[in-house]
C-alpha cells in the first residue's frame, strides 16, 4: 500500500513540495531540468531550514551527483548536512537511525533514478527498491520523507502510472503566489503560469509580480486560465499586457483555456486583437 500523504489541493494534480510531511513518499516525474531543479532545490532547502539530515541517493557514482549538487549545496556537503550515497549497498533504515541519533529532527531522502540499474517500472526489481524506500520512510511515527525523481520523457503513460502506484502521489512545484483567493503555480513545458481562483484588486499585485518573474527568458509565456473563476477588468488588462512586464523583447503570451465569459470580455473591450497575445480557442 502507498503511504498516507498530503493531498493535492482541489483541481491540482500534485502535492506542492513545500507541503510534504514526515511519512510521505512521493515521486517527481519532471518534464525538464528546470522543473527538476525547482522542486528538488525547494525540497532540500526546506530540509536545511528545518535542521533535517539530507540524504541523496543515486544509482550511479556518488561523486558525480555531489558535483552536480555542489553549486547550490556545497556548504551542506562539506559539513555533512547533505550526504550523497549509492543505492547499491545502502541500508536506508540504518542511515535514518544514524541521522536521528545525531539529533536531527528529521531526514529527507532525494532519490535520483536510473531505470537501467534500478529496473524499469513494472519489474520486480523496481518494486523491490521502491518498497524498501517505503518501508523505511512510511513507518508509524516516521520522521523521514522521500522524493524520488524520474525523467518522465523516458516513460510511456503506463510506466508513469506504475511509478505513481509505488508512491503516495506526485510532488510538484510550490505556488509562486497564494493568498487563498488567487493561486499561481509555475508551468515548465511550456514555460508559464497556471492561475486558479480570482483576479481582483487584492490579488492584482501578486499577479504582476508573478508575471515579471515568469518564463526565465523564454520567448513564449503560457498562461493557463482553465481554473480561473473571476477576473476583473484591471486583471484582464494586466494579462493582455503581460508581455510588457517582461524584459524579453517581443515575447508572445499564450492565453490557454480561457473561460467563455473571459473571451467575451476581451471582445467587448476590443483586446482580442492585441499584439503579442494568442488567445487559444477552448476545446
Instruction: Spell out the domain ranges in the chain.
Output: 15-172, 177-279
The CA distances from residue 216 to 69, 211, 248, in Å, are: 21, 11, 9
The set of residues, in sequence order, having a beta carbon less than 8 Å from that of 141 and lying 6+ positions away, is none
Do the domains 15-172 and 177-279 sit in the same CATH topology, yes or no? no
Q: Which of 56, 61, 98, 105 is nearest to 76 (CA)?
A: 56
**Which of helix, strand or coil describes residue 49?**
helix
Identify the pLDDT of residue 120.
Answer: 85
One CATH from 3.40.50.300, 3.30.70.100, 3.90.650.10, 3.40.50.510 for 15-172: 3.40.50.300
- What is the Cα–Cα distance from 163 to 28, expressed in whole angstroms? 10
**Which of 30-34, 112-116, 189-193, 205-209 is least confident?**
112-116
pLDDT tens figures, 10-65:
445 899 999 999 999 999 999 999 999 999 999 999 999 999 999 999 988 899 99
Q: Does the predicted TM-score (pTM) go above 0.75?
A: yes
Q: How many angstroms separate the CA atoms of 274 and 276, rounded?
A: 7
Distance CA 274, CA 241 (A): 9
Would you state the pLDDT for residue 115? 73
**Architecture in CATH of 177-279:** 2-Layer Sandwich (3.30)
Which triple of cell numbers denotes residue 47? 530540509
Rounded-to-integer distance, Cα 6 and Cα 171, Å: 10
When pLDDT is averaged across residues 147-170 and rounded to a whole number, the result is 92
What local confidence, expressed as pLDDT, does residue 246 receive? 73
Cis (ω within 30 of 0) for the bond into 190?
yes
Amino acid at each position: 500500500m502507498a503511504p498516507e500523504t498530503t493531498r493535492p489541493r482541489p483541481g491540482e494534480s500534485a502535492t506542492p513540495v513545500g507541503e510534504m510531511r514526515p511519512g510521505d513518499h512521493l515521486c517527481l516525474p519532471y518534464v525538464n531540468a528546470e522543473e527538476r531543479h525547482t522542486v528538488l532545490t525547494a525540497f532540500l532547502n526546506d530540509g536545511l531550514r528545518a535542521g533535517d539530515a539530507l540524504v541523496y541517493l543515486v544509482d550511479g557514482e556518488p561523486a558525480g551527483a555531489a558535483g552536480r549538487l555542489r553549486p547550490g549545496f556545497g556548504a551542506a556537503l562539506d559539513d555533512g548536512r547533505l550526504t550523497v550515497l549509492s543505492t547499491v549497498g545502502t541500508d536506508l533504515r540504518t542511515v535514518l537511525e544514524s541521522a536521528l541519533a545525531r539529533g536531527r529532527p528529521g531526514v529527507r531522502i532525494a532519490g535520483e533514478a536510473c531505470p537501467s540499474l534500478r529496473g524499469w517500472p513494472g519489474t520486480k526489481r523496481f518494486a523491490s527498491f521502491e518498497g524498501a524506500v517505503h518501508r523505511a520512510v512510511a513507518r508509524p511515527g516516521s520522521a523521514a520523507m522521500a522524493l524520488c525523481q524520474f525523467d518522465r520523457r523516458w516513460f510511456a503513460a503506463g510506466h508513469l502510472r506504475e511509478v505513481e502506484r509505488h508512491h503516495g502521489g506526485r510532488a510538484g512545484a510550490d505556488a509562486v503566489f497564494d493568498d487563498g483567493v488567487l493561486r499561481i503555480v509555475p508551468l515548465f513545458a511550456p514555460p508559464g503560469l497556471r492561475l486558479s481562483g480570482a483576479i481582483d484588486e487584492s490579488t492584482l499585485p501578486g499577479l504582476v509580480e508573478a508575471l515579471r518573474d515568469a518564463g526565465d527568458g523564454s520567448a513564449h509565456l503560457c498562461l493557463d486560465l482553465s481554473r480561473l473563476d473571476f477576473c476583473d477588468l484591471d486583471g484582464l488588462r494586466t494579462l493582455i499586457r503581460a508581455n510588457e512586464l517582461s524584459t524579453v523583447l517581443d515575447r508572445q503570451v499564450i492565453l490557454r483555456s480561457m473561460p467563455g465569459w473571459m473571451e467575451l470580455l476581451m471582445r467587448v473591450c476590443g483586446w482580442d486583437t492585441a499584439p503579442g497575445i494568442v488567445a487559444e480557442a477552448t476545446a
